[in-house]
Amino acid sequence: MKTRGAVVHKAPGTYEVVELDLDGPRQGEIMVKMAASGLCHSDDHVATGDIPAGVYPFCGGHEGAGVVEEVGPHTPGFKEGDHVVFSFLPGCGRCRWCASGMQNLCDLGSGLLVGSRWDDPTDFRMTLEGQPVGQMCGISTFAEHTTVSVASAVKIPADIPLDRACLVGCGVGTGWGSAVNSAGVRPGDTVIVMGVGGIGINAVQGAAHAGASYVIAVDPVAFKREKAEELGATHSFASMEEAAALAKDLTNGQGADSAIVTVGVTRPEHVGQAFSAIRKAGTVVVTGLGNIMEVGLPISLGELTLFQKRVQGSLFGASNPSTDILKMLRLYTEGRLKLDELVTRTYTLDEVAQGYEDMHAGKNIRGVIVYD
Ligand X SMILES: NC(=O)c1ccc[n+]([C@@H]2O[C@H](COP(=O)([O-])OP(=O)(O)OC[C@H]3O[C@@H](n4cnc5c(N)ncnc54)[C@H](O)[C@@H]3O)[C@@H](O)[C@H]2O)c1
Which residues sit at the interface with ligand X, rule CB under 6 A? 40-42, 45, 170, 174, 194-200, 218-221, 224, 262-264, 266, 270, 287-289, 314-316, 359, 362
In angstroms, what is the minimal distance from the CB of 63 to ligand X? 8
Q: Are 105 and 187 in contact (CB under 8 A)?
A: no
In this structure, what is the dihedral angle of CA atoms 139, 145, 150, 151, given to the nearest 10 degrees? 10
Contacts with 238 (C-beta within 8 Å, 6 or more apart), sequence order: 218, 219, 220, 222, 225
Identify residue 329 by its one-letter amino acid code.
L
Per-residue DSSP letter, 112: T
Phi and psi angles of residue 368, each rounded to the nearest 5 degrees, phi first: -130, 130
Taking CB within 5 to 8 Å according to partner kind, which of Zn ion, ligand X, none is near residue 314?
ligand X
Q: Which of 81, 82, 255, 62 is nearest to 167 (CA)?
A: 62
Q: Which stretch binds Zn ion (CB under 5 A): 28-36, 48-56, 102-110, 243-251?
A: 102-110
Q: Which of 178, 24, 148, 8 is nearest to 87 (CA)?
A: 148
Residue choice 47, 59, 165, 170 for contact with Zn ion (CB under 5 A):
170
Q: Are 62 and 141 in contact (CB under 8 A)?
A: yes
Nearer to Zn ion, 15 or 214 (CB): 15
Residue 75: left if φ>0, alpha if ψ -120 to 50, beta else—which one? beta
Residue choice 40, 71, 328, 337 for contact with Zn ion (CB under 5 A):
40
The answer to whether residue 315 forms part of the interface with Zn ion (CB under 5 A) is no
Q: Which stretch binds Zn ion (CB under 5 A): 91-99, 138-146, 280-288, 293-301?
A: 91-99
Taking CB within 5 to 8 Å according to partner kind, which of ligand X, Zn ion, none is near residue 53?
none
In angstroms, what is the minimal distance from the CB of 224 to Zn ion? 17
In angstroms, what is the minimal distance from the CB of 172 to Zn ion? 10
The answer to whether residue 98 forms part of the interface with Zn ion (CB under 5 A) is yes
Nearer to ligand X, 52 or 72 (CB): 52
Cα–Cα dist 341/360, whole Å? 19
Nearer to ligand X, 85 or 170 (CB): 170
Binding site for Zn ion (CB under 5 A): 40, 42, 92, 95, 98, 106, 170
